[in-house]
Chains A and B, each alone.
Chain A
Amino acid sequence: MPKATSDAKLLIQSLGKAYAATPTNLKIIDLYVVFAVATALIQVVYMGIVGSFPFNSFLSGVLSCIGTAVLAVCLRIQVNKDNKEFKDLPPERAFADFVLCNLVLHLVIMNFLG
């Protein structure tokens, strides 16, 4: 048991150390993702307590958050300079794609909100 806790401690420490080296713009995106996921979780918990009616509103709320998070992660992948796969994709293009997808996502959400 102590081994496991020390393991976990070591893990968290090294993770934190490694994460500190991340560029600021990626950190901002991470924060955004964490915020979106947290919002989604709050909605799920709320749904568990209060009930899922009206279901489409709940779904639009949760999917809005999840969609935002996923798109932000995609953006993070694309603008990450360490990422070899997306070397020839300029960050401007990535951001334009991101905005476009978000636009579609939220227009649909607005339609679905009820």
Chain B
Amino acid sequence: MAATALDSLPAPLRSLRLKTKQQELLLRVSALALIYVLAFVVRLFSVLRYESMIHEFDPYFNYRTTLFLSEHGFSEFWNWFDSESWYPLGRVVGGTLFPGLMVTAALLHRLLRALSLAVHIREVCVLTAPFFAANTTLVAYAFGREIWDSGAGLVAAALIAVCPGYISRSVAGSYDNEGVAIFALLLTFYLFVRAVNTGSLAWALASAFGYFYMVSAWGGYVFIINLLPLYVLVLLVTGRYSQRLYVAYNSMYVLGMLLAMQIRFVGFQHVQSGEHMAAMGVFFLLQVFFFLDWVKYLLNDAKLFKSFLRITLTCVITVGTLALGIGTASGYISPWTGRFYSLLDPTYAKDHIPIIASVSEHQPTAWSSFMFDFHILLFLFPAGLYFCFKRLSDATIFIVMYGLTSMYFAGVMVRLILVAAPAVCLISAIAASATIKNLTTLIRTKSKSSQTVSGKSTGSKAAAKGAVDQSLPFQQNVAIALLLGAFYLLSRYAVHCTWVTSEAYSSPSIVLAARGHNGGRVIFDDYREAYYWLRQNTPSDAKIMSWWDYGYQITAMGNRTVIVDNNTWNNTHIATVGRAMSSYEDEAYEIMQSLDVNYVLVVFGGVTGYSSDDINKFLWMVRIGGGVFPVIKEPDYLVNGEYRVDKGAAPKMLNCLMYKLCYYRFGELTTEYGKPPGYDRVRGVEIGNKDIKLEYLEEAFTTSNWIVRIYKVKPPKNRCDQRHSELAIATTEYFLIAEHVHLAPREKLNEAGNRCADDEPCHGGEDDLELEAVHETQSGGATDVLLDAAAADSGHLLPVVTHEPGRDDRHQQRRRQVDAAQCHPDIAGGGCSPRLAAGRRSALPPSSRRRTAAAAAVAPPALRRAAASWSLSVTGSAGMEGEGGGGGRWREASTVVAGVLNGCQYHQFEIDLIV
């Protein structure tokens, strides 16, 4: 009838009809192109707001590895042993990561380079996630077309392009596995459904490659390898087994498994770990099913087949159970991992594995975040399920199962909303598309039927529809109203998504932004400040201890070795750091010494009100530390089960290392107007311990907003006791004076001086701090007496330390000054306050200085004996100049010396020389 109607049309109209089809294609393609662009562009907020940079924590590792890959090539990347992380264990990077993302980015970079576009690898990394998100829309379109029709595909592409649940993990700069993996996940599913629909080996092969890419990119591939067998099982149970399914699943499984084994991090897990056994079981089950099916087909006899079935089934079940039992009992098949358990039982992690429970993205999802991430999709989802059930096919069963399982997992863990997002978008797209289509057909048939009635060429179908229309009087109006409502909802969705993206998901979290008093944006760039400080001011082999969250960033941006990082593969190591953070300073010092820690980095938000700081994470450190070391007990840090930092806090809390490092000198700071000093803006309390003294650590650097604080671990004290160290100074002096030692600087003095400056980052160059430091600890021992005695003999010309002629003229003549001025009552104001004395001494001209006698004059015989075994070396020098009181210029050179006395190593102290 349609054909005749078509033929009856005049020729121009017929060509018009063709054109409408072309127009439809054009419309579809252009809509898809716009969606593609939109998906890319909507993710660029963060680049516009901040700059092209990598976000958060994990992406920094990915960025670092990508950099390594593009610089050193794949082979070296594959065999990379990274000694900069997990000190002293190190990490075999090539074998413990999913290389998909890095390889993708490196290939893109190479491709762009080949096209002679000079882009930095960082730009490629930043834009990888948006690029793949855009590609995902294409896959979503194809998938939607496969399970429903092209209209649903188009809607699905549009929905997924802006779905906040997906955007949260794929904005520009969030260079993480998920950005690529969701694309791979959806591609695998699409190709698999396609393979099931066609029964073609080629599609199954393509699906296996999609799976391979997914395995190479993200650990979430476990979802695929469990969902597919579940799907097959459901089809078997519902009697929808087909040979297309057999072809698709088996070839995909065998090839996919084999391909996945090429990823070293996954390795033999497909045949060894319990998480992958379902797929294998279903594989064997399908073989049995196929065999039975075939025998049934051959026999064509119900009774015979029944007996055959009984025999084979008992055999198969016994063999299968035996194999599984033996495998599990012998430990050949490893049991399920904690992450997997925590998926099945949401309360598992909280009770058993604090390291999983401590991560915020592993928490169960709140309703609000569902609403936030899905918006109207949450309501369209059940409607879509209804449509799917109404038109049940292999493909719709798949999408329903994908939707339901992923929704469950999304409820268990926040981060898995990401996995659910494509399914929810597809199912919602079916609902939206089907509804809108129904409504528009209602409106159109009404108008068409009226047209056809007037045109007097009523088809029976149209007439029937017209009859239906007449039975419902307001149908057209209602349809229009509903249509408008649907459009309103969809436009609200678009608005919501844009708002969420710009407000919530586009902050890099490495640079923090806040609203100032006048509404302007305030940027806190403390993290990068701290990491650059580390990069510039610490020795290149320095080991930094921090909580594991910051490990990747420190290695990537600070280029320094860390003890633990975000790859939480060694719980004991992390627990050791947790223990150090939650111990008293002296106990922590021992742990830090055993780990060779040079610097400790803590994140502190008390000044800015940045709430995800180390004090708020501290209880997890205690829990994780206590999980391995029972010395650490959580109740010690709590008061009546309450976690507090103010005066009522537990004494252990107030004196543990983390508290001290975070709040060191904080008691002097007024953070908010009208509040007492030491007011913590995150906790909203005045801190309980304002007078914090650090014994084994010293503050090395604090960023401008106090968010990152870095402490230097002091080198071990001279092992010989204090008296000995004083003796050492006195001996040095004696040695220098009495023995007329040549103290000529060596040629490498300057280099050595530089090294010294690295060691002492925040000290001014001129002060002779080392000697001061030793003097500070003086407590009236033998040396005091000695120095005082020396000081009494004032005006004594200092012995000259001769200099080898021809060397640097600045050192032509040197006089040394024993630093006795500090302890002299006239100058130091009666007290022996070295710091004050040091300040004054610098201001004084040389003539008025206390010139002290040679220690030799009063040196006891012990000193002479000691001097004989005293060897010292010059390790550096610093100097200052000034106008003398007598009109002449003077120059003071302080020389850093180190030495060994009686077998004890003295690190370094300074001797002043006045020229």
Q: Is the CB of A78 within 8 A of B304?
A: no
Query: CB within 8 Å of B: which of A49-97?
Result: 55-56, 59, 63, 66-67, 70-71, 73-75, 77-78, 83, 85-86, 89, 94, 97
* Bound-state Cα–Cα, A104 to B207, Å: 13
* Bound-state Cα–Cα, A111 to B259, Å: 10
Interface residues of B, count at CB 8 A:
33
Confirm or deny: A1 has a beta carbon within 8 angstroms of a beta carbon on chain B.
Answer: no
* Bound-state Cα–Cα, A63 to B280, Å: 12
Cβ-defined partner of A63 (8 Å) among B199, B205, B258, B295: B258
Q: Is the CB of A67 within 8 A of B201?
A: no
**Residues of chain A lying within 8 A (CB to CB) of residue B553:** none
**Residues of chain B lying within 8 A (CB to CB) of residue A56:** 261, 268
Cβ-defined partner of B205 (8 Å) among A7, A86, A101, A109: A101
* Bound-state Cα–Cα, A77 to B307, Å: 25
**Residues of chain B lying within 8 A (CB to CB) of residue A18:** 298-300
Given contacts A15-B295, A77-B243, contact A105 B268 (CB under 8 A): no
- Chain A proximity of B430: nearest CB distance (Å): 26
DSSP class of B's interface residues: helix, strand, loop or mixed? helix
Confirm or deny: A108 has a beta carbon within 8 angstroms of a beta carbon on chain B.
Answer: yes
Q: Is the CB of A10 within 8 A of B201?
A: no
Interface residues of A, count at CB 8 A:
36
Confirm or deny: A11 has a beta carbon within 8 angstroms of a beta carbon on chain B.
Answer: yes
Query: CB within 8 Å of B: which of A1-38?
Result: 7-8, 10-11, 14-15, 18-19
Q: Is the CB of A15 within 8 A of B205?
A: no
* Bound-state Cα–Cα, A14 to B305, Å: 11
- Chain B proximity of A102: nearest CB distance (Å): 10
- Chain B proximity of A63: nearest CB distance (Å): 5
- Chain A proximity of B409: nearest CB distance (Å): 30
Confirm or deny: B545 has a beta carbon within 8 angstroms of a beta carbon on chain A.
Answer: no
Cβ-defined partner of A108 (8 Å) among B250, B259, B271, B295: B259
Q: Is the CB of A104 within 8 A of B199?
A: no
Confirm or deny: A46 has a beta carbon within 8 angstroms of a beta carbon on chain B.
Answer: no
Given contacts A71-B251, A74-B246, A86-B243, contact A59 B271 (CB under 8 A): yes
Q: Is the CB of B201 within 8 A of A109?
A: no
Given contacts A14-B301, A15-B295, contact A78 B199 (CB under 8 A): yes
Query: CB within 8 Å of A: which of B241-275?
Result: 242-244, 246-247, 250-251, 254-255, 257-259, 261-262, 268, 271
- Chain A proximity of B598: nearest CB distance (Å): 42
**Residues of chain A lying within 8 A (CB to CB) of residue B259:** 108
Q: Is the CB of B201 within 8 A of A70?
A: no
Confirm or deny: B223 has a beta carbon within 8 angstroms of a beta carbon on chain A.
Answer: no
Residue of A nearest to B308 (CB): A11
Cβ-defined partner of A105 (8 Å) among B246, B255, B290, B311: B255
* Bound-state Cα–Cα, A74 to B246, Å: 8
Cβ-defined partner of B250 (8 Å) among A10, A55, A63, A74: A74
* Bound-state Cα–Cα, A88 to B204, Å: 18
Q: Is the CB of A104 within 8 A of B205?
A: yes
**Residues of chain B lying within 8 A (CB to CB) of residue A77:** 199, 243, 246-247
Query: CB within 8 Å of A: which of B199-226?
Result: 199-202, 204-205, 208
- Chain A proximity of B196: nearest CB distance (Å): 11
Q: Is the CB of B243 within 8 A of A85?
A: yes
Q: Is the CB of A14 within 8 A of B304?
A: yes
**Residues of chain B lying within 8 A (CB to CB) of residue A70:** 250-251, 254
- Chain B proximity of A93: nearest CB distance (Å): 8
Residue of A nearest to B257 (CB): A63
Residue of B nearest to A3 (CB): B307
* Bound-state Cα–Cα, A106 to B647, Å: 70
Q: Is the CB of B199 within 8 A of A85?
A: yes
**Residues of chain A lying within 8 A (CB to CB) of residue B250:** 70, 73-74
**Residues of chain A lying within 8 A (CB to CB) of residue B262:** 108, 111-112
* Bound-state Cα–Cα, A78 to B255, Å: 18
**Residues of chain B lying within 8 A (CB to CB) of residue A89:** 199-200
Q: Is the CB of A100 within 8 A of B298?
A: no
- Chain A proximity of B195: nearest CB distance (Å): 11
Cβ-defined partner of A100 (8 Å) among B201, B242, B258: B201
Q: Is the CB of B258 within 8 A of A109?
A: yes
* Bound-state Cα–Cα, A7 to B309, Å: 12
- Chain B proximity of A12: nearest CB distance (Å): 10
The 3 closest A-B pairs by CB, nearest first: A97-B201, A18-B298, A74-B247
16 contacts between A and B (CB under 8 A): A15-B299, A56-B261, A56-B268, A59-B261, A63-B258, A73-B246, A74-B251, A77-B246, A78-B199, A85-B243, A85-B244, A86-B244, A101-B204, A101-B205, A101-B255, A104-B208
Instruction: Supply 13 further A-B pairs (C-beta < 8 A) apart from A7-B304, A74-B246.
Output: A11-B299, A59-B261, A59-B271, A63-B254, A63-B257, A67-B254, A71-B201, A73-B246, A75-B201, A78-B199, A94-B201, A101-B255, A105-B258
Interface residues of B (CB under 8 A from A): 199-202, 204-205, 208, 242-244, 246-247, 250-251, 254-255, 257-259, 261-262, 268, 271, 290, 295, 298-301, 304, 307-308, 311
